[in-house]
Amino acid sequence: MRPELDAIDRAVALLQSGELVAFPTETVYGLGADAANPAAVARIFTAKGRPADHPLIVHLPADSYLERWARDIPAVAWELAEAFWPGPLTLILKRAAAVPGAVTGGQDSVGLRVPAHPLALDLLRAYARAGGGLAGMCGVAAPSANRFGRISPTEAAHVRDELGDAVKLILDGGRCPVGIESTILDLTRGSVMPPRLLRPGRITREQIATVIGVLPEIADRQPGDRTPRVSGSLAAHYAPSTPLRLVPPGRLAEVIARLGQAGHRCAVLCHSQLPDQDASPELRRLPGDPRGYASGLYAALRELDQAATDLIVVEEIPATPAWAAVADRLRRAACGAGRGTDLPG
């Protein structure tokens, strides 16, 4: 599903003139603006309702553009770019002098990635050919195209639901295959300290270790610490409006039955076969492997949220490294969901 070339041309023209364009990446849809243009970047924060000190990821057409955006680039960054770009890995590097503070939340670092979705690459390359925005920097800043704190969009229709007319053009590339946001790796700590994983994603710590020979540390944020801010690291993030509770597989049927008896309408998200499906009309089953599950997770949560039940019951997933990124998103969804409502059951 590729829109005609003139959609790309229109998108490039909008970016060049400081407007917003939503586009698909392999992870989730992004809300893009010229990353070198502070006024354009400000529009992103307004459209999302996001605090202005949260840094954005800058999307590049190829790793050959890295030096425009980063300085003191360590060898491991090039090795990781070679191994995983285009792809769902964001590298946090020291920012180059030309990078505006608007895009980094005023920090001395910048998040960079080359996305793998063919439409995203078409857009970024066409943008570069057309001059690449202010100062010819060729970077498109793009957070996930949702309102702040909400579920990231994995289809063009989700973007329209989230942002309405605030975005002039949405490039429709169908469903995002990865389905959860990129892995974020902080490489700003120098060569003595191991890199730090700020957000788990499709590219796992173990995969990173096979390239750089050391397992990234998992960021353990303390209040007031000076690690770079990651809005995806807030406890409550990626959240539906309906309260959400994780339940161990063995207790799922019993919990659903009990909630039903107590008069609560609940929706169910599972990955194994349930003994009695009639108990819950609003049921989505996702694949039992972490990649398949991640790919369908946000669309399923969105649908179940719209069913307007009292509670979304989610079957717990295995506690293994392969499921780390999915577990992270479910934990945050459970924490942020249905704030202000009483949790039944």
- Contact residues toward ligand TXA (CB under 6 A) are 25, 27-28, 30, 54-57, 88, 90, 92, 104, 107, 109-111, 115, 142-144, 181-182, 184, 198, 228-232
How deeply is 215 buried, as exposed, middle or buried, from its count of CB atoms within 10 A (0-12, 13-18, 19+)?
middle
Beta strands 57-59 and 183-186, pairing class: unpaired
Q: How many CB atoms lie within 10 A of CB 134?
A: 18
Tell me the closest approach of the beta carbon of residue 184 to ligand TXA, in angstroms. 5
Residue 12, binding choice from Mg ion, ligand TXA, none, Cβ under 5 to 8 Å by partner class: none
What minimum distance in Å lies between the beta carbon of 38 and Mg ion?
20
| Shortest spacing between CB 102 and Mg ion, in angstroms | 17
Q: Among all residues, whose Cβ is closest to Mg ion?
A: 144
144 is an interface residue for Mg ion by CB under 5 A: yes
What is the SS3 assignment for 219? Answer: coil
184/266 with CB nearer ligand TXA? 184
Q: Residues of 172-195 as b/e, b for ≥16 C-beta within 10 angstroms?
A: bbeebbbbbbbbbbbbbeeeeeeb
- Smallest distance, Å, CB 25 to Mg ion? 12
Nearest CB to ligand TXA, comparing residues 231 and 242: 231
Cα separation values, 345 from 120, 251, 264, 266, 312, Å: 44, 13, 8, 10, 11
Q: Are 221 and 291 in contact (CB under 8 A)?
A: no
Q: Are strands 21-24 and 196-199 parallel, antiparallel or unpaired?
A: unpaired
Which of 71/264 has CB closer to ligand TXA? 71
- CB under 5 to 8 A by kind: which of ligand TXA, Mg ion, none does 30 bind? ligand TXA
Closest distance of CB 104 from Mg ion, Å: 16
Range in contact with Mg ion (rule: CB under 5 A) among 142-150, 221-229, 260-268, 314-322: 142-150
Query: Please, which residue, 190 or 340, has the CB nearer to ligand TXA?
Result: 190
How is the beta sheet containing 311-315 ordered, strand by strand?
244-247, 311-315, 266-270, 282-285
Shortest separation between residue 45's beta carbon and ligand TXA, angstroms: 10
Q: Could you tell me which residues come within 8 angstroms of residue 192 by beta carbon, excluding any fewer than 6 positions away?
A: none
Q: Footprint of Mg ion on this chain (CB under 5 A)?
A: 144
